[in-house]
Amino acid sequence: MSTLTDFAITSKWPAQHPDRLQLYSLPTPNGVKVSIMLEETGLPYEAHTVRFDSNDQMSPEFLSLNPNNKIPAILDPNGPGGQPLALFESGAILIYLAEKTGRFLPDEPARRYETLQWVMFQMGGVGPMFGQLGFFHKFAGKDFEDKRPRDRYVAESRRLLTVLDRHLAGRDWMLGEPYTIADMAILPWVRNLIGYYDAGELVGYQDFKQVDRVLQAFLQRPAVQRGLEIPART
Largest Cα separation within the chain, whole Å, is 57
pLDDT per residue as tens digits for the range 173-215? 999 999 999 999 999 999 999 999 999 999 999 999 999 999 9
- Fold (topology level) of 4-103: Glutaredoxin (3.40.30)
Burial label for 66, CB within 10 Å (0-12, 13-18, 19+), is buried
- pLDDT given for residue 132 in this prediction: 97
Q: Which pLDDT value is given to residue 3?
A: 80
How many degrees, rounded to 5, is the angle at CA 23 between CA 17 and CA 27?
Answer: 130
Q: Report whether pLDDT(6) > 70.
A: yes
Mean pLDDT, residues 79-96? 97
Cα–Cα distance between 223 and 41 in angstroms, integer?
9
Q: What are phi and psi of 20, to 5 degrees?
A: -100, 155
In sequence order, the 6+-apart residues with CB closer than 8 A to the CB of 117 are none
For the cut 80, the answer to whether the pLDDT of residue 234 exceeds it is no
pTM above 0.85, yes or no: yes
Amino acid at 9: I
Q: Which CATH number fits domain 109-221: 3.20.20.10, 1.20.1050.10, 2.60.40.1120, 1.25.40.10?
A: 1.20.1050.10
Q: Distance between CA atoms of 78 and 232, rounded to whole angstroms?
A: 25
Name the residue ranges covered by the structural domains of the chain: 4-103, 109-221
Instruction: Please indicate whether the domains covering 4-103 and 109-221 agree at the CATH topology level.
Output: no
Q: Output the pLDDT for position 1.
A: 60
Stretch among 5-9, 99-103, 137-141 having the lowest mean pLDDT: 5-9
d(CA 40, CA 73): 18
* pLDDT above 90 for 158: yes
* Interatomic CA distance for residues 134 and 34, integer angstroms: 21
Return d(Cα 105, Cα 222) in angstroms, integer: 20
